[in-house]
Amino acid sequence: MNIIFLGAPGAGKGTHAQRLMHKMNIPQISTGDMLRAAIKAETELGLSAKRYIDAGELVPDEVVIGIVEERLAQEDCKNGYILDGFPRTVAQAEALKGFATIDVALNLSLPDEMIIRRLSGRRVCLKCGGTYHISSLNGREDCEACGDKLVQRKDDTPETVQNRLNVYNAQTAPLIDYYEKEGLLKTVECLGTVDENQAAVEKALNL
């Protein structure tokens, strides 16, 4: 199954995509993770993407379209994949049509105030992609899964979070209508615990 996860930053796309990846044994393809890895490795891609990411802006379409097309051509995507954070513009969705057949676009829906609370308390592991919220860490500063130090993403600071939400509303939210018209949209209200929301995600996918 080829799945798109739609939803505002902080709606839980990464968390649920990772859980689904283990359950379905298909890769999670996160453009945000790929770009952050490129920044860490100081590649040309990373250097050009950094200023957009730090400001909460979108990286230009042609850049992300290229990396996703290349990634989906790899062997491990043959039996399906979960796109997490792509597409983020209608132009990306149109380009995706040219090299992929999507089965479902799952929209994770959450009120803005919850998103802001989640993002500003988020701590991440840049090594394995683990994501936590400070309220559940009890002062712990390292990743439970791999032991690496947890950090706050530069783009999770309050000033940048608001900009990311504006960018989401202006450029990404139109994809909800787009996939509705394509007949591929399913919406999951993510108001419960992570386990409850995950159960709702799996139900929407008939798993």
Could you give the residue numbers annotated as active site? 13, 88, 122, 153, 164
Do 77 and 71 touch, CB atoms closer than 8 A?
yes
Q: What is the 3-state secondary structure (H, E, C) of 39-83?
A: HHCCCHHHHHHHHHHHHCCCCCHHHHHHHHHHHHCCHHHCCCEEE
Please identify, using beta-carbon distances, which residue of 97 and 203 lies nearer to ligand AMP: 97
- The verdict on 67 binding ligand AMP (CB under 6 A) reads no
Instruction: Report the relative pairing of strands 131-133 and 122-125 from DSSP bridges.
Output: antiparallel
Stretches 84-92, 96-104, 105-113, 139-147: which one binds ligand AMP (CB under 6 A)? 84-92
What's the gap between Cα 91 and its chain centre? 18
Pick from 8, 53, 102, 201: which binds ligand AMP (CB under 6 A)?
A: 53
- The verdict on 56 binding ligand AMP (CB under 6 A) reads yes
- The verdict on 58 binding ligand AMP (CB under 6 A) reads yes
Give the number of other Cβ atoms within 10 Å of residue 35's Cβ.
22
Q: Write out the residues near ligand AMP by the rule CB under 6 A.
A: 9, 31-32, 35, 52-53, 56-59, 64, 85-88, 92, 155, 164
